[in-house]
Copies of this chain bind each other. A is one copy, B any other.
Amino acid sequence: MASRPTMEDVAARAGVSRALVSLVMRGAPNVSQARRDAVFKAAEELGYSPHAMARSLASRTSTVLGVMVSDLHNPFFAEVVDGLEAVARKEGFELIINTGRRTPAGERQAVRSLLSFRPAGLALLGPAVAAAEIEAAADQVPVVLVARATRLGSVDTVNDDGRAGSELAVDHLVELGHRRIVHFDGGRGSQSALRRRGYLDGMKKHGLAASVIRSEYTDVAGAKAVKTLLERDEPLPTGIVAANDINAIGAISALEEAGLRVPEDVSVIGYDNTSLAALAHVGMTTVDQPRHAMGRLAAQAVLERVRNGRTEPVRHLLHPKVVHRHTTAPPPAAQ
């Protein structure tokens, strides 16, 4: 693990000045072909590669993007990071990642630690940290928020339109002919309020009576919500707009256990389009949340500020889409 050669070493070997090596490494024009070749040859022989941090320090520019993930364990964010990385990489940037360990204090520390690298920009994924902290960061560097809204005029945001997504789910069921449609909500989970709002708006739009059952983002909660439904004195709904895919899978199992067929007797639509929904034997109709695209847009937003110096905030509100599979169908009889 010998210490690596520097530009000075390459210069000496190629018989040129350090400045010339620098120019060659940066692909500058106005360098004679002869010298260029000599420099590359010397670099190759010595196994030289530029020192990104020294370059960054000297040029007062950065090629790293800081990414704070509230919870990398969550596949949602992992896919967003994947999208971020795709764009960053293509544009010559690297990602430096920190997680917030799901606490505001942890996130705060993560953001500060990220800023100590003087990144070109910062992407905060699902941050729970205080707005003041975000604002402070935005004073130093372009910031984009994913899966979090804000009033701050200095930061960009990329969000999925949970309200619209739920409304689409309702539209889908109504189109199939359903009229008794209930919503299992996500309790205090993130996005839960928006999805509930979308369901309520959708039902109202179609002139239908809404009914929300308090639930959670778990399969157990979905199953429990079905039991609640079955114990009621009212006619069973023919359609269920579940809080998310996991909740939907729980609901489906409980329905089947109760002797009801999906989708013949009851249609169920999920939310998120996780890999779970795509499983052949599940084949769940669900609302797709374009995670990868969200990551890409976030990276683009930051890079626009870095490169073009844009200052007006950008608000991306992604329109989710219904993915048609096999857990929804027309209701059992014309109502």
The answer to whether residues A140 and B1 also contact, given A49-B115, A219-B279 and a CB cut-off of 8 A, is: yes
- Kindly report how many copies of this chain are found in the complex they form together: 2
Contact call A98/B95, Cβ cutoff below 8 A: yes
Contact call B115/A94, Cβ cutoff below 8 A: no
The answer to whether residues A116 and B280 also contact, given A75-B78, A95-B96 and a CB cut-off of 8 A, is: no
Chain A 254-286, CB-CB to B under 8 Å as 1, else 0, gives 100000000000000000000010011100000
Let me know if A4 is at the binding interface, CB within 8 A. Answer: yes
Contact call A219/B53, Cβ cutoff below 8 A: no
Complex: chain B residue closest to A109, CB-CB: B89
For A220, what are the chain B residues with a Cβ–Cβ distance below 8 Å? 280
CA distance A280 to B220 in the complex (A): 6
Contact call B64/A85, Cβ cutoff below 8 A: no
Contact call B57/A54, Cβ cutoff below 8 A: yes
For A223, what are the chain B residues with a Cβ–Cβ distance below 8 Å? 280-281
Partner of A53 from the list B53, B73, B85, B95 (CB cut-off 8 Å) is: B53
Contact call B82/A141, Cβ cutoff below 8 A: no
CA distance A194 to B307 in the complex (A): 49
CA distance A73 to B86 in the complex (A): 11
For A51, what are the chain B residues with a Cβ–Cβ distance below 8 Å? 57, 116, 118
- Say how far A91's CB is from chain B's closest CB, in angstroms: 13
The answer to whether residues A49 and B281 also contact, given A75-B78, A96-B96, A139-B1 and a CB cut-off of 8 A, is: no
Q: Which of A120-147 contact B (CB under 8 A)?
A: 139-141
The answer to whether residues A52 and B95 also contact, given A85-B72, A279-B246 and a CB cut-off of 8 A, is: no
Let me know if A50 is at the binding interface, CB within 8 A. Answer: yes
Let me know if A17 is at the binding interface, CB within 8 A. Answer: no
Let me know if A97 is at the binding interface, CB within 8 A. Answer: yes
CA distance A159 to B136 in the complex (A): 42
The answer to whether residues A82 and B89 also contact, given A95-B97, A118-B51 and a CB cut-off of 8 A, is: no
- Say how far A47's CB is from chain B's closest CB, in angstroms: 8
Chain A 63-89, CB-CB to B under 8 Å as 1, else 0, gives 010000000110100110110010001
**A interface vs B, CB < 8 Å?**
1, 4, 49-54, 56-57, 64, 72-73, 75, 78-79, 81-82, 85, 89, 94-99, 101, 112-118, 139-141, 218-220, 223, 246, 249-250, 253-254, 276, 279-281
Sort A-B residue pairs by CB-CB distance and give the 6 closest, nearest first.
A253-B281, A78-B78, A52-B116, A53-B53, A96-B96, A72-B82
* Selected A-B contacts with CB under 8 Å, 24 pairs: A1-B139, A4-B140, A49-B115, A50-B116, A51-B57, A51-B116, A52-B118, A53-B56, A72-B81, A72-B82, A75-B75, A78-B78, A81-B97, A89-B101, A94-B113, A94-B114, A95-B96, A97-B97, A223-B280, A223-B281, A249-B279, A250-B279, A253-B280, A253-B281
